[in-house]
């Protein structure tokens, strides 16, 4: 599978992602000259965190949280993996792939402030504002987008495509159809 074989519109090319992440890292460093804890949200934030921390030229600790959705319409979230680092009194930046409804980052911000973080700002590569259900203040934003579904650079569709080196706006139905056509042509059905 390569990006060129997937039907979609390129939102950010590899070089554009790199310059976006460079900008975000510089802004974070400027706000936290005394150092910062970057908390990445698994799994979507994994590419962003890896590149972001290499663009933060101040003292920087890295940790990860994983959340799992549950309940009716998967509209609630619970902790699947907790932090190892004590964030009490520290300046924290939450690094996420995309803010959609705002549920996830609202939960994480509340958790971090309960843990005594001095600050807990959000750094998101993508901001899908039209889908917001909870208002959230996003301090560092890579790109504001519309309602389109996005894959690549950590973002998945059914656990695939996280490894694409670019961000593609695509239609989940088209992906599903292409996948079942591939399976058919390999005679697996």
Q: What minimum distance in Å lies between the beta carbon of 43 and Mg ion?
A: 7
Q: Is 22 in the site for Mg ion (CB under 5 A)?
A: no
Count other Cβ atoms within 10 Å, centred on residue 40. Answer: 26
* Site stretch for ligand IMP (CB under 6 A), options 21-29, 84-92, 112-120, 148-156: 148-156
DSSP letter (8 states) at residue 31: H
- Footprint of ligand IMP on residues 64-123 (CB under 6 A)? 96-104
C-beta closer to ligand IMP: residue 71 or 187: 71
CA gap 18, 99 in Å, rounded:
19
Binding residues for Mg ion, total number by CB under 5 A: 1
Query: Which residues ranging from 106 to 165 are in contact with Mg ion (CB under 5 A)?
Result: 156
15 sits in which H/E element: helix 14-31
Q: Does 46 bind ligand IMP (CB under 6 A)?
A: no
65 binds, among ligand IMP, Mg ion, none (CB under 5 to 8 A by kind): none
Tell me if residue 121 is catalytic. Answer: no
Instruction: Work out what residue 103 binds among Mg ion, ligand IMP, none; the CB cut-off runs from 5 to 8 Å by kind.
Output: ligand IMP
Any alpha helices (H) in 88-134, and if so which ranges?
103-114
124 Cα distance to chain centroid: 6
Measured from the CB of residue 2, what is the shortest distance to ligand IMP in angstroms?
Answer: 19
Residue 8 binds ligand IMP, judged by CB under 6 A:
no
d(CA 27, CA 31): 6
Measured in degrees and rounded to the nearest 5, phi and psi for residue 39 equal -110, 110
Q: How far is the CB of 184 from ligand IMP (least distance, A)?
A: 25
Residues 6 or more apart whose CB falls under 8 angstroms from that of 96 comprise 40, 41, 44, 45, 48, 104, 105, 122, 123, 124, 125
Q: Are 24 and 55 in contact (CB under 8 A)?
A: yes
67 is in the binding site of which of Mg ion, ligand IMP, none (Cβ under 5 to 8 A by kind)? none
96/123 with CB nearer ligand IMP: 96
Interacting residues with ligand IMP (CB under 6 A): 41, 44, 96-104, 149-150, 155-156
Write out the catalytic residue numbers.
Answer: 100
């Amino acid at each position: 599978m390569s990006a060129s074989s997937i039907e979609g519109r390129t939102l950010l090319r590899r070089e554009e992602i790199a310059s976006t992440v460079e900008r975000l890292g510089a802004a974070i460093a400027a706000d936290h000259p005394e150092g910062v804890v970057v908390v990445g949200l698994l799994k979507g934030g994994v590419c962003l965190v890896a590149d972001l921390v290499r663009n933060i030229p101040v003292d920087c600790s890295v940790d990860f949280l994983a959340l799992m959705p549950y309940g009716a319409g998967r509209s609630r979230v619970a902790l699947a993996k907790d932090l190892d680092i004590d964030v009490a009194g520290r300046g924290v930046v939450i690094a996420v792939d995309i803010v959609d409804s705002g549920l996830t980052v609202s939960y994480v911000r509340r958790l971090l402030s309960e843990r005594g973080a001095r600050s807990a700002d959000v750094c998101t590569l993508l901001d899908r504002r039209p889908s917001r259900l909870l208002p959230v203040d996003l301090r560092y934003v890579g790109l504001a987008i519309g309602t389109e579904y996005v894959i690549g650079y950590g973002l998945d569709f059914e656990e695939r495509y996280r490894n694409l080196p670019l961000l593609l706006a695509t239609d989940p139905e088209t992906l599903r159809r292409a996948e079942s056509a591939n399976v058919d042509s390999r005679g697996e059905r």
